[in-house]
Structure 1
Amino acid sequence: MLSPAQLLQEFITLWVVIDPIGTLPVFLAVTQGMSAAHRRSVALRAIVVSFGVLTAFIVLGQIVLDALGLALPAFQIAGGIVLFLFALTMIFGHSKPEDEIAAAERVRQTSVFPVAIPSIASPGAMLAVVILTDNDRFSVAHQALTTAMMGLVLLVTLAIMLLAEPLHRVIGTTGAAVISRVMGMILAAVAVDAVLRAFVTIGALPGLGM
C-alpha cells in the first residue's frame, strides 16, 4: 500500500505531466469560432479519450514498451515533433472560422487531436503513468489508485476547459487570436526543448545547461 507521501508525489507528478492550466490556451486556440455547445462537446470528448488512452497505458503500457524496446527519448522526440507542427498552426492560424457544418466535423477531430493527444494525454503523461506503476505493474490496487488520481486531475482539466467559455467571451476573437499566436511560439519552444533534451539523454548532444 502506498504511503500518503507517495500518493501525494504521484498526484503532483500526474498534475505536472497532464498540466490542466497549460491545456487552456490550446483549447481556446482550437475551439476559436465554435459555438458554446461545440466547445463543451470538444472538452468532454477530449477528457474521455485522454482517460481511455492513459488508462490503457497504466494497464498495458510497460508490457508493450518492453516488447517493442521503446525508450523515453523516442517518446520525447516524437511528441516534440508533433507539438512543433501544431505550434506552427497556432502561429499562422486559419483565416476565418468554418461554418456550422464544418464546425461539427471539427468537434470530432479536435477533441482527439490536439486537445486529447498530445495536449492532455501527452507522450510525457503516457510515460509517467507507465513509470508510476512500473515497479508494481501487476498490482490492481496500485493501478486503481493511479487511475483514480489521474481521473481527478482530468476532472480539474475538464472544469478549466468548460470555464474557457466565459474567458473567451471576455477576451473576444482578437484576444483569442493574440493568445493563439503567443502560445504557439511558447509551445514551439517547449517542443524544441523536449527534442533537445531527448538528444542529450541519448548522448547525441552535450549537456545544454538545462
Structure 2
Amino acid sequence: MDFKPLITLLAIVNPPAIIPFFIYYTHGMTGEQRRHTVVVSAVTAFLVIAACALFGIRILEFFGISLASFQVGGGMLLLTSSLNMLNAKPAEAKPSSNELEAGAEKAAMGDSVAVVPLTIPLLTGPATMSTVVIYAERARNAFELSILVGYGVVIALVTAVCFALAEPIARILGKTGINVLTRLMGLILAALAVEVMAEGLGKLFPTLRG
C-alpha cells in the first residue's frame, strides 16, 4: 500500500497550522456550537477530497487539459505552498486581516464558518485539490481509488482531533512548536512537489527522460 498520497495530503492540509484560525473563528461560540463546527469542517474536508478523487479526471477531460500539464501546474502550486510553509506559513493561501474581519461578521450573522473559510480554502484549497486529482489518475483500479478516498477519511479524522483539542494543542506546542511543525511538513512537501513536476515534464518532453 502506497502511503505517499496520505503523507502529501497531511503535509498540505496540515491541520495543526489551522488551529489559530479555528480558535479565532469560533471565539464566543458555545461548546455545542464548537463541536458542530468541528464535525462540519471534518466532513466537508472529506467530501472535497472524495469529490476530487472521483470526478477530478473527468473535469480535466471536460476542459481538455492533459494530466501532464496539470501535474506540472499542480507541482508548481505545491512547491509554492511548500515555500510558504518553510517560512512558517500554512500551505494554503490564508485570508488577510480584512477578510478575517469579514468572516467574523458573517459568523455573527449566523453563517457557518465551518465550510468557508475553515475548510475551503484554509484546509482544502487548490493545492490539496490538485494533489488529489494527480494521485487519482495514478490509481490503477477501483480498489486503489477507494484507498485514496479512504485517505480522505484519515484527513477528516486528523482535522477533527486537532480542532477538538485546539486550545490544549496550541498551549502545548506554542507558536514556536507550530512553526517548527509547519517547516518540517514544508520540507517534505517540497520534495514531493519536485517529484510530481518531474513526472509531468517527463510526459510533456520525453527527451528529458534520457
Q: TM-score, normalised by structure 1?
A: 0.61
Matched residue, 1:28: 19
Q: 1:177 to 1:106 in 2, by over 3 A?
A: farther
Structure 1 residue 125 corresponds to structure 2 residue 132: yes
Matched residue, 2:79: 80
Q: Give SS of 2:125's match.
A: helix
Structure 1 residue 15 corresponds to structure 2 residue 6: yes
Q: CA deviation at 1:124?
A: 3.1
User: Tell me, which stretches of 5 or more residues in structure 2 are unaligned?
Assistant: 27-33, 203-210
- Aligned match for 1:111, one of 76, 94, 119: 119
**Superimposed CA distance per residue, residues 121-166 of structure 1 (whole angstroms, 9 cap, x where no aligned partner):** 3533321111224xxxxxxxx3x42342223222222222222245
The residue type paired with residue 31 of structure 1 is F
Please tell me the root mean square deviation across aligned C-alpha atoms, in Å. Answer: 4.2
Spell out the pairing of 1:90-169 with structure 2 (5 A cutoff): 90=90, 98=104, 100-101=107-108, 104=111, 106-107=113-114, 108-118=116-126, 121-133=128-140, 142=141, 144-169=142-167
Q: May I ask how many residue pairs the two structures share in their alignment?
A: 182
CA distance in 2: counterparts of 1:89 and 1:38, whole angstroms: 23
Q: CA contact under 8 A between 1:62 and 1:130: conserved in structure 2? A: no
**Superimposed CA distance per residue, residues 106-132 of structure 1 (whole angstroms, 9 cap, x where no aligned partner):** 43223121312256x353332111122
The residue type paired with residue 32 of structure 1 is I
The residue type paired with residue 129 of structure 1 is A
Q: CA deviation at 1:75?
A: 1.6
User: Tell me, which stretches of 5 or more residues in structure 1 are unaligned?
Assistant: 1-7, 134-141, 204-210
Q: CA contact under 8 A between 2:53 and 2:149: conserved in structure 1? A: no
Q: CA deviation at 1:38?
A: 2.1
CA distance in 2: counterparts of 1:18 and 1:102, whole angstroms: 33
Q: 1:64 to 1:19 in 2, by over 3 A?
A: farther
Q: 1:81 to 1:20 in 2, by over 3 A?
A: closer
CA distance in 1: counterparts of 2:88 and 2:111, whole angstroms: 23
Q: CA contact under 8 A between 1:83 and 1:118: conserved in structure 2? A: no
